Amino acid sequence: MLHIKGLEAKIEDKEILRGLSLDVKPGEVHAIMGPNGSGKSTLASVLAGREDYEVTAGEVQFNGKDLLDMAPEIRSREGLFLAFQYPVEIPGVSNMNFLKAAVAEKRKHLGLEPLSAKEFLKLVSEKSKLVELDGQLANRAVNEGFSGGEKKRNEIFQMAMLEPTLGILDETDSGLDIDALRIVANGVNALRSPERSFVLITHYQRLLDYIVPDFVHVLYKGRIVKSGTKELALELEEKGYDWIKEEVDAHA
């Protein structure tokens, strides 16, 4: 599904990803943890196609295709979804209009018939229930005046609408209260399927109690420096990152 090999990326001459490799198979859930500034959001941005980053080495295959060769909108239509760490507010653009356009473009790309207005509304009501998103929010301008938690829920709502094959969630859990965390986690779990994979970027083991990962990785200085199963997250929760940093820095 997702195959990243030796990925290097920089921004304004600052190297951030330095030879990152990761394999995600269909249906798997991978958690990526790591200290602040280690490059987690950068990885997510590079995968989603943000142009500010320059990829200097490595390759990324997504469902057998060269991901780095695709424009951001093509990546999305091909089934990649990034739930942003900081979703932007877009005043005046209604969530509904925007999603209607997004769903239409994706279906067209996949050679599917466009949804009728009625089918679209049905999809909206079904998917907004999934994340218990107030119908009012769906009708408002994209993220405008949404609380931090509402923005995150809106991201998961959009993900549910677009039904990606790979969901990358960048700290979707941060800023959520306990109830919202459970709602978001339930939403993600409901979307889990043998064909759909997730990459969860998080700082907190707590999320992983709700969405149980198959693998946990530690990203440090632009590389995956340690991988394990969900027990690794518990160990990190207990011991912090120092022991890993020391291990890595000793070999550097």
Partner 1 sequence: MEETITNNQIIDIERSVLSMVNVHAKAQLDQMQWPTTRDEEWKYTRTGRITKESWMVSPIQSNAPWQSLQIENLDVYTIVIINGQFYSQASTLPTAAGITIDTIAPQERIATSFGHFFEALQAAYCTSHLRIVIADKVQMDRPIHLIHFNDGQKVLSQPTLTIEVGAFAKASFIESFGSNSTEQSFGNRKLNIHVGENAHVTFDKIQDLHDNDFLMNDDQVHIAKSAQFTINTLTIDGGWTRNQLHISLDGENIEASLNGCYLPRRNQLVDNHTKVDHRFAHCNSHELYKGLLNDRSTGVFNGKVHVHLDAQKTNAYQQNANILLSDEAQMNSKPELEIYADDVKCSHGSTTGQLDDEAMFYLQSRGLSPDNARRLLTTAFINDVLNHVENEAVRAHVIQRLEQEGLLYH
Ligand X SMILES: Nc1ncnc2c1ncn2[C@@H]1O[C@H](COP(=O)(O)OP(=O)(O)OP(=O)(O)O)[C@@H](O)[C@H]1O
Q: Which residues bind Mg ion (CB under 5 A)?
A: 40-41, 85
**Is residue 14 within the footprint of ligand X (CB under 6 A)?**
yes
Q: Which is nearer to ligand X, 52 or 247 (CB)?
A: 52
State the Cα–Cα distance between residues 32 and 224, nearest whole angstrom. 9
Q: What's the token pair of residue 80? A: 């990649």
* Residue 13 DSSP SS3: coil
45: nearest Cα among 149, 187, 201: 201
- Measured CA to CA in angstroms, residue 146 lies from 81, 87, 91, 125, 181 at distances of 21, 10, 11, 19, 16
- Pick what 48 binds: partner 1, ligand X, Mg ion, none; C-beta below 5 to 8 Å, kind-dependent: partner 1
Find the residue with minimal CB distance to Mg ion: 41
**Is residue 38 within the footprint of ligand X (CB under 6 A)?**
yes
Supply the minimum distance, in Å, between the C-beta of residue 170 and Mg ion.
Answer: 6
State the Cα–Cα distance between residues 244 and 252, nearest whole angstrom. 12
* Residue 1 DSSP SS3: coil
**Is residue 117 within the footprint of partner 1 (CB under 8 A)?**
no
Contact between 163 and 99 under an 8 Å Cβ cutoff? The reply is no
Q: Contacting partner 1 (CB under 8 A), which of 50, 192, 206, 245? A: 50
Instruction: Give me Rg for the CA atoms of the chain.
Output: 18
- Number of amino acids touching ligand X (CB under 6 A): 14
- Pick what 37 binds: partner 1, Mg ion, ligand X, none; C-beta below 5 to 8 Å, kind-dependent: ligand X
**Is residue 41 within the footprint of ligand X (CB under 6 A)?**
yes
The residues binding partner 1 (CB under 8 A) are 48-51, 71-73, 75-77, 82, 84, 87-88, 90-93, 97-99, 101-102, 105-106, 109, 141-142, 158, 162
